[in-house]
Amino acid sequence: LVAATSSEESPVLESSLTTDASVHAFISNNPLFYSLPPEVVASIAERLHEKTFAVGESIFEEGSLGDSFYLIRKGTVRVTKLQMGEEMVLSELGEGEGFGEMALLIDQARTATVKALSEVCTLVLNRDDFTSLTRTLPSLAVNMNKLLSERVTLLDSVSSEETKGKF
């Protein structure tokens, strides 16, 4: 959703974040990026664009194809997965946390649904930019793989909890 602007207002451009010092500071404090040198963080910041979501809006659905990682700048999201026809809450994520990393690393459908619980402002990194960055910054791929491993472990534990005593 894009808000209309009058001719007196300057529209917010996705590329405007590339020079935003607060974005640089925000991502440099994130666990995925804090160990990276400042010039690397600046390179990542240049590739991020901002996207906002309204309360209740679906950011993406389980089973859809994904190509972006989202870093929450403001707000809260709920991550759910369908298990045996019922919606199971995997997590609620807030400011500074990210989701969608599997889409950057593995070319497969989304493994969960993510919906905004409040107005959510995200910084988005798409797969092409991520791939370009990891060619020159292998440590970024290592950090993202660690996050991916944590999420896969969570998904495995949810699946095993659901099937306990059923087979």
Per-residue CA distances from 8 to 5, 11, 50 (Å)? 8, 9, 22
**4: exposed, middle or buried (C-beta count within 10 Å: 0-12, 13-18, 19+)?**
exposed
Q: pLDDT tens, position by position, for the chain (167 residues)? A: 444 443 343 333 344 444 477 888 888 887 777 778 888 888 888 899 999 999 999 999 999 999 999 999 999 999 999 999 999 999 999 999 989 888 877 788 898 999 999 999 999 999 898 888 878 777 777 777 776 677 666 556 655 554 333 32
28: Cβ–Cβ under 8 A, 6 or more apart, which residues?
34, 36, 38, 41
What is the rounded distance in angstroms from the CA atom of residue 66 to the CA atom of residue 100? 8
Angle at 90 (CA atoms; ends 85, 95), nearest 5 degrees: 140
Q: Which of 50, 72, 43 is nearest to 130 (CA)?
A: 43
Quote the mean pLDDT of the chain: 79
pTM of the complete model: 0.73
Which tokens in the block code for residue 120?
A: 């959510």
**Would you give the distance in Å from CA 12 to the centre of its chain?**
21
